Structure 1
Amino acid sequence: MNTPISDTFGQQLHDMRRELLAQVRAQRGGNLGRAEAAAEAREQQSDDWAQADAARDLSVALEEREAAELVAIDEALKRVADGSFGLCIDCGVSIPTARLHANPTSLRCVACQEKAEQAEGMGKPATL
């Protein structure tokens, strides 16, 4: 991918990263650490343990999703830096720009992504 386009996607990825980190900070109540946020949430919880457990499960799921998203963004930024951004990791063809605009962390072209999803559906592990 040429440099001006990579720079554009690099900026988009940096913006996504900054927004995601701001969202995580806001969910935790500002710049609170994970332990402080958990203690604060526990203080605010009612006596309904089932509701508290459900809220904690949701919080853990969100944190896992956000962590995975941060990893995907960081990996895409590495690909921008090393010049491999926008190339399918399976077949090496250029990923269409429209696909990258929709999901700049895409690793595969549409055809290879479909194959990976089919393999995953058949119980074979596949990466994004």
Structure 2
Amino acid sequence: MSTPISDTFGDQLRQMRSDVLAQLRAQRGGRIGRAEAAAEARDNVGDDWAQADAERDLSIALEERESAELVAIDAALKRIADGSYGLCVDCGVSIATARLHANPTAQRCVACQDKAEHAQGGVNAPKM
């Protein structure tokens, strides 16, 4: 992939990373850690423990999703740095620029992604 295009995606990925980190900080009530945020939430609950547990579960799920997104962003930035960004990690062909615009962290071309999802029982796998 050419340097100007890699730079464009690099800028987009760095902005995405910054946004995800800001979301994580906001969920935690600033710069406090997960344990402190959970304790603070428990203190503010009152008697509605069921709602508190549901909110905690949702918060953990969101944090796990955002953590996975950070890992994907960092991996994409590493691929930019080593010159392999935009190449499918499975077959080595160029990933369509439109796909990268839609998902800058994409590691695979559409064909290989489809195969990977089928192998993992993903969203496109036939229902049994």
Fold agreement, TM-score > 0.5 = yes
Q: Displacement, 1:15? A: 0.3
Deviations 1:13-71 (A, max 9, x none): 00000011011111211222222212211111131222121111111111111110000
- Aligned position for 2:67: 67
- For 2:36 and 2:120, locate their aligned partners in 1 and report how far apart those are by CA, in whole Å: 38
- Aligned position for 1:85: 85
- For 1:101 and 1:74, locate their aligned partners in 2 and report how far apart those are by CA, in whole Å: 17
Aligned pairs, how many?
122
Identify the range of structure 1 (40-49 vs 66-75) with the bigger mean alpha-carbon deviation: 40-49
Calculate the TM-score normalised by the size of structure 1.
0.90
What amino acid maps onto 1:106 in structure 2? A
- Aligned position for 2:55: 55
**3-state SS of 2:120 partner:** helix
Return structure 1 stretches of 4+ with deviation > 4 angstroms: none
What amino acid maps onto 1:35 in structure 2? A
Q: Contact 2:41 / 2:52 at 8 angstroms: preserved in 1?
A: no
Identify the range of structure 1 (51-60 vs 13-22) with the bigger mean alpha-carbon deviation: 51-60
Give matches, 1:1-128, under 5 Å. Answer: 1-121=1-121
- For 1:54 and 1:85, locate their aligned partners in 2 and report how far apart those are by CA, in whole Å: 39
Q: Which runs of 5+ in 2 are unaligned?
A: 123-128
Give the RMSD, CA atoms, in angstroms: 1.2
Calculate the TM-score normalised by the size of structure 2.
0.90
Q: Which runs of 5+ in 1 are unaligned?
A: 123-128
- For 1:81 and 1:68, locate their aligned partners in 2 and report how far apart those are by CA, in whole Å: 20
Provide the identity percentage.
77
